[in-house]
Amino acid sequence: MKHTLSRLAADYSMFFVLLLLCLFFSLMTIDAQHPTGSEAAEDVANEIIATQGRQASVLIVAGKSREDIAFANTLARRLEASGATVLESTGSSPSQVRQNLEALADAESPLSAIACTEAISKWSVVSGAAGKYPTFGPLAVIKPQSYLFPDFLKAGNLKNVAGQSAVFAIIAIGMTLVIITAGIDLSVGSLVALSAVSATLLIRDCFGGASAGPGGMLAGAVGAIALCGLVGLLSGVMVTVFGMPPFIVTLATMSIARGLAQIFSRGQSIYQVPESFSWLATGNLLGVPNEVVVMVVLYLFAHFVMTRTTLGRWVYAVGGNREAARLSGVPVLGVLLLVYVLSGALAGVGGVMEASRLQSGSPLYGNMYELYVITAVVVGGTSLAGGEGKIFGTLIGALTIAVIRNGMNLMNIESYTQGVVMGVLILAAVLIDAGKRKGYGRRVWGSLFAFSRAR
């Protein structure tokens, strides 16, 4: 654990950028927050008792949502416990509230306060009640206190960010290995679709569809992941045995995988999966979403492999200098093959998680994911030239991407603009990568300068 922290510190600069981004989005998304549910009810009850005393008689007005019902019930219980009179009218519409108020006024019942949610307090029948029904005397409208808090930092949103980043981050582990060997894998986005389609298809057609048990779902997932590993193997064989450039090979497998996903699914979404299939995305372990747990476990394992094992050392060496590695006895072809298989299989895992999140499989999933994943890896400090890179750097990169996407959504930035921002981010990351390699940036600027002068 101590080692892990020191690794994070080594990636200090990107980590710092990530924190700055979080701060930025927190500041930009500060908004009035209206508490709901029983928590809000406690606040309102306390306020009523403090201002009106135990003799208060209160009309509770709330909507029909689960949150509102909880609000009304808790509030009623609290008020009755402290001796106040409650005239409940849950599930009301404005006209119902008017009828209620008129009936109370006719009966000359005492009414000292209307307790309601933020939204209902804006109804004219509620806000204007004091003027319209003078028989009640001073009539207070009491609603939960709103407060300022960043949308970005709300627990629900943070969970969402973690969930969003989990899929990218897991695929990015494989991509990191590939890029460290000075390769690239463009097929991962299509493999997400292939995996999601084949997992859901296997469950639908072989393991009992919507009534499939955990074993069937597991088998479907494993089958899908293995299929993606096979596609990775195909890329790997092309790269190693036939010596073709990874860029063009994986461009081809990208097309193949997307096509297969379309063929298998006949272009349709597949949603005949059990409710519990979303367990990966919605379930949690001690409050941490399962997909985040999977992500963390995979990252710890990958970090261990890359820093402590022979295999990790070999991956770095193959990327640093392939020929020197071969002449030092590293099984270069085997390492490359394994790396592409892993990248394919991890994209498969990402696809299964995507299917779980969305409770269905579609050949359209994973569109442009390769772009986000490569960006995450490069932002995380892995050099496209190969030979260097850190697993936890990639995790920070994936979180950065997820935070930026989420932040832009919260700020209502439209998707076209988001594309531009992502592109600029990639350029910036690559420029930093180039600058880190000794003097390269300086040389680029220097020659540009010389060129402009020579003209």
Partner 1 sequence: MDATSGENASAALLSMTGIDKSYPGVQALLGANLCLRRGEVLGLLGENGAGKSTLMKVLGGAVRPDGGSIEIDALRVTFSSPAEAAAAGIATIHQELSLVPTLSARENIFLSRRGWVRRAEEVEQTRKLLAMLGSHIDPETPCRELSVAENQVVEIAGALRERARILVMDEPTAALSVREVERLFTVIRDLQRAGMGIIYISHRLEEIFQIADRVTVLRDGENVGDYRVADITRTALIEAMVGRTLEDEFPPRNTRIGDVRLKIRDLNRGNAVRDVNVDVAAGEVLAVTGLVGSGRTEMARLIFGADLRDSGTIELDGKILRHRSPRGAIANGICLLTEDRKAEGLVLGHSMRENFGLPNLSAWSRWGMIGRSAEKSALASHIAQLRLPAGGSERPASQLSGGNQQKLILAKWLERHCEVIIFDEPTRGIDVGARYQIYELICALAKAGKVIIMISSELPEVLGMANRVLVMRGGSIVGAVSDVEHSSEEEIMQLAFSEAAGTGVQ
Q: Does 241 bind partner 1 (CB under 8 A)?
A: no
Q: Does 245 bind partner 1 (CB under 8 A)?
A: no
Binding mask 387-416 for partner 1 (x = CB under 8 A): xx----------------------------
Q: Does 424 bind partner 1 (CB under 8 A)?
A: no
Q: Does 330 bind partner 1 (CB under 8 A)?
A: yes
Q: Does 328 bind partner 1 (CB under 8 A)?
A: yes
Q: Encode 88-125 in three state secondary structure.
A: EEECCCHHHHHHHHHHHHHCCCCCCEEEECCCHHHCHH
CA gap 159, 402 in Å, rounded: 11
Q: Using the rule CB under 8 A, which residue among 114, 325, 373, 401 binds partner 1?
A: 325
Q: Do 39 and 93 meet the contact criterion of CB atoms below 8 Å apart? A: no
**Part of the chain binding partner 1 (CB under 8 A), chosen from 30-38, 92-100, 415-423, 446-454:** 446-454
Between 311 and 384, CB nearer to partner 1:
311
Q: Using the rule CB under 8 A, which residue among 321, 359, 409, 418 binds partner 1?
A: 321
Q: Using the rule CB under 8 A, which residue among 331, 367, 419, 424 binds partner 1?
A: 331
Q: Do 191 and 351 meet the contact criterion of CB atoms below 8 Å apart? A: yes
**Part of the chain binding partner 1 (CB under 8 A), chosen from 38-46, 165-173, 270-278, 322-330:** 322-330
Between 66 and 443, CB nearer to partner 1:
443
**How many residues in the chain?**
455
Q: Do 139 and 133 meet the contact criterion of CB atoms below 8 Å apart? A: yes
| CB neighbours of residue 84 within 10 Å | 21
The candidate with the shortest Cα–Cα distance to 352, out of 196, 147, 125, 134, is 196
**Part of the chain binding partner 1 (CB under 8 A), chosen from 139-147, 167-175, 256-264, 315-323:** 315-323
Q: Does 323 bind partner 1 (CB under 8 A)?
A: yes
* In the complex, minimum distance from the CB of residue 14 to partner 1, in angstroms, rounded to a whole number: 20
CA gap 295, 5 in Å, rounded: 17
Q: Does 446 bind partner 1 (CB under 8 A)?
A: yes
CA gap 123, 131 in Å, rounded: 14
Q: Does 243 bind partner 1 (CB under 8 A)?
A: no
**Part of the chain binding partner 1 (CB under 8 A), chosen from 25-33, 79-87, 154-162, 444-452:** 444-452
The candidate with the shortest Cα–Cα distance to 307, out of 184, 177, 175, 183, is 177
The candidate with the shortest Cα–Cα distance to 128, out of 117, 118, 139, 119, is 139
Q: Does 449 bind partner 1 (CB under 8 A)?
A: yes
Between 288 and 450, CB nearer to partner 1:
450
- 95-114 residues in contact with partner 1 (CB under 8 A) are none
Between 318 and 396, CB nearer to partner 1:
318
Q: Do 181 and 319 meet the contact criterion of CB atoms below 8 Å apart? A: yes
SS3 category, 286:
coil
Q: Does 324 bind partner 1 (CB under 8 A)?
A: yes
Q: Does 327 bind partner 1 (CB under 8 A)?
A: yes
**Part of the chain binding partner 1 (CB under 8 A), chosen from 25-33, 79-87, 267-275, 309-317:** 309-317
Q: Does 384 bind partner 1 (CB under 8 A)?
A: no
Beta strands in 240-297 (DSSP E): 284-285, 288-289
Residues β-bridged to residue 116: 61
Q: Does 7 bind partner 1 (CB under 8 A)?
A: no
Q: What is the b/e burial string over 104-135, where b = at least 16 CB atoms within 10 angstroms of the residue's CB?
A: bbeeeeebbbbbbbbebbebebbeebeeebee
* In the complex, minimum distance from the CB of residue 333 to partner 1, in angstroms, rounded to a whole number: 10
Q: Does 311 bind partner 1 (CB under 8 A)?
A: yes
Q: Do 375 and 426 meet the contact criterion of CB atoms below 8 Å apart? A: yes
* In the complex, minimum distance from the CB of residue 451 to partner 1, in angstroms, rounded to a whole number: 8
Q: Does 4 bind partner 1 (CB under 8 A)?
A: no
CA gap 398, 163 in Å, rounded: 11
CA gap 3, 304 in Å, rounded: 11
Which positions lie near partner 1, rule CB under 8 A? 308-311, 313-314, 316-317, 320-321, 323-331, 387-388, 446, 449-450, 453-455
